[in-house]
Amino acid sequence: MLIYRPKAELTGKRLSAHTIASFMAAQGSNRPEAVASDVSMREDLLRFLLRERTITYWKANGWLKADPFGTELRLTTDGRRKVEGRLAGEPKAQAVTAPQVLEALQVISGALREEPLDSFRLQITQPDRLTDAPRTPEIETASVEVTPTDERLLQAIWTRRGQADFRAKLLLAYGGRCAITDCGAEEALEAAHVFPFAEDRNYELSNGILMRADMHTLFDLFLLSIEPKTTAVWLAPGLLPHYGELHSRIVKFPKDPSLRPDAARLEHHFEQWKIRWQPAKS
């Protein structure tokens, strides 16, 4: 999975929006207001996205703290208040709007590439069997050297990608194939939560869809969604040159209604997608 940052160092409101978007990406959050304090964030990922100067600034002000192992960072309560203040337009808070933050998140995800970008690639080899422990990851980056080895960090990534039991149930329900692409490479398939995992740790099949890893990431970032009535795929406009063949494709849900995702949850996800992308279509 590739993560991006602008090659040029940012300043002012754009740096403020990029900073909040970076916290969103590191926490797996889809809404700026959902950024939380005391949530683990990969230090190497944030150092790539924000650079050393911004990390030092946030730490020096007591807004960001490191864990004892040196592999994670967390926003403090004051750091969370700083984010809230910027979104609320408080004086001297380098105020930004939610659309500005979401635009910065598009740059990070690679959906918006209107300027030179640096990239960060994280590759995780999934276990051969669901009961196996995760292997050590291989990481490449265009501009930084990253070699995390902390077992707790790897376990957090594995949990984020879908717990074993949840994934096993989805593999069975979907016949071991991605609901969107029909990919049958089991190593590439992940358990996607319809309602964000960070907000509701629900492992029922009604909150899950089996997806190829890249589809899962796009779905989590609301760059891809599924219209509940037609079960057709909708893509953010910036993805059409790359994934255009998937736009309007009918998703292959299980024939058994009890194994399909809940319509209300799909509707919630699709409404969030429309908030971000319908204006761009008109």
Quick one: tokens of 214?
A: 């890249």
Distance CA 124, CA 91 (A): 43
Distance CA 186, CA 78 (A): 43
Beta pairing partners, 3 = 120
Nearest to 39 by CA among 87, 73, 82: 73
Single pTM value for the model:
0.50
The half-sphere exposure of 107 on its side-chain side, counting CA atoms within 13 A, is 25
Nearest to 74 by CA among 85, 62, 57, 87: 62
Ranges of each domain in the chain: 2-120, 163-281
Per-residue pLDDT of the chain (282 residues; tens, 9 = 90+): 678 899 999 999 999 999 999 998 888 777 888 898 878 888 888 999 999 999 999 999 999 998 766 678 999 999 999 999 999 988 777 889 988 998 898 888 877 788 899 888 754 333 333 333 333 333 333 333 333 334 444 444 445 444 677 888 888 899 999 999 999 998 889 889 898 655 555 678 899 999 999 999 899 888 999 999 999 999 999 899 999 999 999 999 999 888 999 999 999 999 999 988 876 444
Nearest to 16 by CA among 117, 94, 103: 94
Distance CA 266, CA 229 (A): 10
Task: For residue 201, give the 3-state DSSP assignment.
Answer: coil
